[in-house]
Amino acid sequence: MLDGKIFQWNSNRSCLNLSEEALKDRIIDVIDIVKDNVADNHYKESEDLRNFKSVKTKRGPLTDDWMETSDPIMCSYKNVEVKLDIWGLQGRIENYIQNAIREILLVGHKQAFAWIDDWYGMTESEVRDYESIMQSETNDKVKCSAPTTPTTLSDPDTPGSASSQKSWFSWS
Q: Is residue 24 part of a domain?
A: yes
- Is 50 among the domain residues? yes
Instruction: Give the integer Cα–Cα distance in Å for 64 and 45.
Output: 17
DSSP 39: P
Residue 171 lies in a domain: no
Residue 26 carries which side chain, given as an amino acid letter? R
Amino acid letter, 60: G
Rounded CA-CA distance 116/62 in Å is 13
Average pLDDT, the chain: 81
- Structural domain tally of the chain? 1
Question: Is residue 9 domain-resident?
Answer: yes
Task: Decide if 115 is inside a domain.
Answer: yes
pLDDT one-digit tens code per residue, 57-112:
999 999 999 998 988 888 888 888 888 888 888 889 988 999 999 999 999 999 99
- 114 in a domain, yes or no? yes
pLDDT digits (tens, 9 = 90+) for 137-165: 888 887 874 554 554 454 444 445 556 55
Inside any domain, residue 123: yes
CATH code of the domain containing 120: 3.30.530.20
Number of helical (H) and strand (E) elements in the chain, helices listed first: 5, 2
Domain that holds residue 42: 2-165
Cα–Cα distance between 30 and 28 in angstroms, integer?
6
170 part of a folded domain: no
